[in-house]
Chains A and B, each alone.
Chain A
Amino acid sequence: MFWLKLFQDILAIFREGQSPRQVAGGFMLGSIVGFSPMLTLQGLVVWLIILILNVNLGAVFLSLTVCALLAWLLDPFFHWLGYQILVNIPALQSFWTSFYNSLLSPLTRFNNTVVMGSFVAALVLALPVYFGMKHLVIAYRKTLGAKVEKLKIYQAVKKSGLVRTWMKIRDLGGR
């Protein structure tokens, strides 16, 4: 059920509602939060931005869920990346040291290898995600949506009794 709902929500996000920029922004911010393994100050700031800016919350939660799963898979890479940034770049050592001794640094947990690695990876991926998702939404709404709806798998899923029952139950709430 989860996967069916996820599939339908993705299509709904692509198909209708807010602008492609809001959807893409939601994906981007959701990916930053989703990659982070623990609650940090920068995570709270991102959440505040999400709540203040009018980005697509569905895209945020979808992105957060997908990126959290990816983060678990990519944990060794994040650990390696964070270690390299924190330890093996001499030019940054003095900065890290002064930041480590600053007041707010404990709240950022920047000296944790996974926090640093995932945050840098999220920042690096932020723009590609944003622009990628924006183009994808636009393309879906113009041409790709019609093609997807013609796919046999889409038809099969849509006509299946199970999905219809699920959609009725879902729509009881007055969606």
Chain B
Amino acid sequence: MRKNFILFVLIPLIIFLVVAWFRIDRWVESGLERAGEELVGARVEIDRLDLTFSPLMVRFGRLEVASTQDSLRNLFETGEVHYTMDFGQLLRGKTIVDSMEVDGLILGTQRSSSGFLPGRRKGLLEGSLGKDNFQAVMDRLLQQVKASTPLFDPALWRGRINVDSLIKAQNFQTLALVDSLRQLTASSVAEWDTTLQAVKAAGQRLQEMKERILAIHPPELKSVEEVTKALATIDAARKTYNELTAAFNERHATIRGKVEDLSGAVGTIDDAVKADVRHVLSLARLPDINTMGLAELLIGQQVLENAERVAALVDESRALAARWTPKPLYVYPERMKGQEIPFPVVRGYPELWIKRLKISGGSGSEQSRNYIRLAGMVDNISSDHRLAGEPMSFTLDGTRGATLGFGLVGRIDRRAETPIDHYTARISGIHLPAFSLGKADFLPAVATGPTLAADVTISIPGSSFDVQGDLRLRALALAFQNDPRNVGERLARDILTGVTGFDAGFRLRRGGEGVNAVFTTDLDNQFADGVRRVVGEELTRLQNQLKARVEQEVAARRREFERYFAARREEVQKQLDGYKSLVEENKRMLEERRQELEARLEQLKRGAVDKVMDKILKRE
């Protein structure tokens, strides 16, 4: 035996082992803290770690994991944590945890000291997601949806409802029609003048004829020859009269036809005005309000944020799962490295396998009611699902205060060739703080006192995904920050005034045919009713306003034309009426003179007969 070895090696070694025995808890604690910080990228603190070897068990009184985003907030903290490990597998470098219990898991607790690491170095989980991660894809998708969804756009409203800019007289069909009618009337009047000149000449001939007829005095005619001659004059005048009457009737019909045409054309001014009103309304592009757009505008941001929170959760899960992918084995041995020969094993184990993790949120009333407590079960957290033979699954329930509750059920399966993730999240009783709705330049409003409940289901088979969500917002009260600045805002306000809650849903799906996104909400139905009511009234009001403006613009020109047209028509009518009365008078006079002449002729004939008879009788 070597005395020096015993004195200088064996005894110091025993002393070292004794010291290690008492210090190993602290060393393991430090090691776990460093490993956790490396993983998370923020301060990880473990208190009162206790390590036992038979069975191999780790127990610690408290675990705090700081947030990487807020230096004075924890990502989570726990009460007592203890777990037992398989010592045999640990010798093989495999961490197999048979059961792990975490008491008093609380999210988002306050810290008394900064949780950031010196230099803010990033953890393995931070920034490990590529540009095609789920959250990035979803963000891009939602931006596309938002861009392509017709919104209740204030700019469109303002542009569309500017009445003054729409009323441009040069564009009015009515005014063009009035101008053309005026020209047509002017040319017609010129024709009428020609016709009236002819009528006037005919009137002159009628006047002369009248004078010649008046010059015939039947009682003064002494002989049959004179009467016969006068009758011939009357017949000639009658012939002339008939000719003039036919010409007059023809011209009168022409003029009357023209007048009627013009009058009919004037009647189309009303139609032109209506057309102009329709045109102006079409230029105004009065909103065919897409209520989906309005709903999306108002709640889209909320939906987006919730969806992104879920997406972030999915990404973190995937990042964790990615880290647990087994490393490939060396196939070709390097010099002095050799080749590991595998032998059949009674049971294959992955590098890490936590078979069951029980989490209890605890009932610590000393903690703030604002903290979130988690409780539930996570099964089969493993680095290789195939070796473990089980997929990872979890059922977590959380509460905050007496009203807020949420649940998360998930299953992450990496056993098959195509990885499959499935998550279902449920949350209820969220008393949302007052949040802004609308935009700074459109309907800035604050929603106060709403409570939110939501269900989200996510399926991610391979590179595809299918996300469905339902949001239920209740007890909503809207406080508008400004008076409505335009008709769009006024409309939206009128519609929203009666809305106290709504349901909304969304579905995002990426498959072989691309990405589809659908947003639905019963807010749309509520809006639709409101829109039908309010926008109907508004449209009527706007239509009337535009119609009045159009009519106002064309009215002066129309009145002027109508006065001109009426004056000319009256003038023509007057002249025609005068000529007509002259014709009638002449006709009447002609008939009278002819009757008188025929009576005189009869009288003269009877007188001659009597005279002959007297002579005859006197001779006998």
Q: Which residues of A contact B (CB under 8 A)?
A: 37-38, 51-54, 71-72, 75, 78-79, 82-83, 86-87, 93, 96-97, 100-101, 103-104, 106-107, 111-115, 117
Contact = CB atoms under 8 A, between A and B. Distances in A.
Contacts of B337: 37, 114
B412 to A, nearest CB: 29
B341 A106 contact: no
Contacts of A72: 335-336
A49 to B, nearest CB: 11
Given A79-B339, A93-B343, A101-B343, 15 more contacts: A51-B5, A52-B2, A71-B336, A78-B338, A96-B343, A97-B343, A100-B343, A100-B344, A101-B345, A101-B346, A103-B88, A107-B91, A111-B341, A111-B343, A114-B333
A18 to B, nearest CB: 12
A37 B338 contact: yes
By CB atoms of chain A within 10 A, which of B336, B338, B342, B346 has the most?
B338
A87 B339 CA distance: 12
Given A51-B2, A79-B333, A101-B346, A112 B93 contact: no
Nearest to B344: A97
Contacts of B340: 111-112
Nearest to A112: B338
B contacts with A: majority SS: loop
B91 A83 contact: no
A72 B494 CA distance: 88
Nearest to B88: A103
Contacts of A38: 336
B88 A115 contact: no
Contacts of B91: 103-104, 106-107
B11 interface: no
B88 A54 contact: no
B2 to A, nearest CB: 5
Contacts of A104: 91
A contacts with B: majority SS: helix
A83 B92 CA distance: 21
Contacts of A111: 340-343
Contacts of B9: 51
Contacts of B344: 97, 100
20 contacts: A51-B9, A51-B10, A52-B2, A75-B335, A75-B336, A79-B339, A82-B338, A100-B343, A100-B344, A101-B345, A103-B87, A106-B91, A106-B92, A111-B341, A112-B339, A112-B340, A114-B333, A114-B337, A114-B338, A114-B339
Contacts of A96: 343
B1 interface: yes
Minimum-distance CB pairs A-B, first 10: A114-B338, A100-B343, A112-B338, A106-B92, A37-B336, A113-B338, A106-B91, A86-B341, A111-B341, A97-B343
A66 B335 CA distance: 18
A86 B343 CA distance: 9
A54 B333 contact: no
A92 to B, nearest CB: 11
Contact of A83 (B10, B335, B336, B341): B341
Interface string B326-337: 000000010111
A113 B343 CA distance: 13
A104 B90 CA distance: 11
A136 to B, nearest CB: 24
Contacts of A71: 336
Contacts of B341: 83, 86-87, 111-113
Contacts of B338: 37, 78-79, 82, 112-115, 117
A106 B93 contact: yes
B333 A113 contact: yes
Nearest to A86: B341
Interface in B535-566: none
A103 B7 CA distance: 32
A82 B337 CA distance: 12
Nearest to B337: A114
B345 A100 contact: yes
A58 B464 CA distance: 68
A22 B344 CA distance: 43
A78 B339 CA distance: 11
A113 B5 CA distance: 33
Contacts of B88: 103
A14 B442 CA distance: 100
A87 B343 CA distance: 10
Contacts of A37: 336-338
A104 B89 CA distance: 10
B16 to A, nearest CB: 15
A63 B2 CA distance: 20
A18 B342 CA distance: 45
Contacts of A53: 1-2
Interface in B321-375: 333, 335-346
Interface string B73-97: 0000000000000011001110000
A54 B343 contact: no
A52 B344 CA distance: 38
Nearest to A117: B338
Interface in B72-126: 87-88, 91-93
A111 to B, nearest CB: 5
